[in-house]
Amino acid sequence: MIYYLDTSALIKRYLDEIGSSWMRGLAQAASSDLLISSRLTTVEISSAFARRLREGTVTKEDYADHLAVFDEDCNTLYHLVELSPEILDLARDLTARHPLRALDALQLASALLANRVFLNLNLPSLTFVSADDRLLETAQQENLPIYLPNGNP
């Protein structure tokens, strides 16, 4: 399977939340699956780790460990979609059609353009994974299969 993981889904691999077990299992089975995200996710995940450090819900050591593991995963496990003018243009169009926040529009635009590449290569459609109900609804309206990891512990 091909999964596009937005930040709200991918963070569950590193921080304990509802859906973390499913996300960790997906990452462990990645040899048979393709895991895709946006380069934007690297900033969003780093921001989430730093926020947790400032709030005191993770220690400095945990922060450094999480960041190191995430960076290694970005280099070895995930395929990152680079932000391009085409993605920016599509994200702008998505915000005109749907009630999306800017970063959510960029995530969805990245997924939609990656999906076009797969379909043009006669590969199966990717599945858009997010913990954001509004973003999932919009992805579905844009004809992407979706998955909500929050339905799993």
State which residues form the domain around 102.
2-151
Proportion of the chain above pLDDT 70, given as a percent: 95
Query: Which pLDDT score, from 0 to 100, does residue 45 have?
Result: 97
Report how far residue 59's alpha carbon sits from residue 108's, in angstroms, rounded to the nearest whole number: 32
Specify the number of domains making up the chain. Answer: 1
pTM of the model: 0.92
**CATH at 138:** 3.40.50.1010
What ranges make up the beta strands (E) of 31-105? 34-38, 78-81
Residue 152, pLDDT above cutoff 60? no
Q: What is the pLDDT of residues 18-60, one digit of tens each?
A: 888 888 887 776 567 899 999 999 999 999 999 999 999 999 9
Element (H, E) at 8: helix 7-10
Query: Which pLDDT score, from 0 to 100, does residue 151 have?
Result: 61
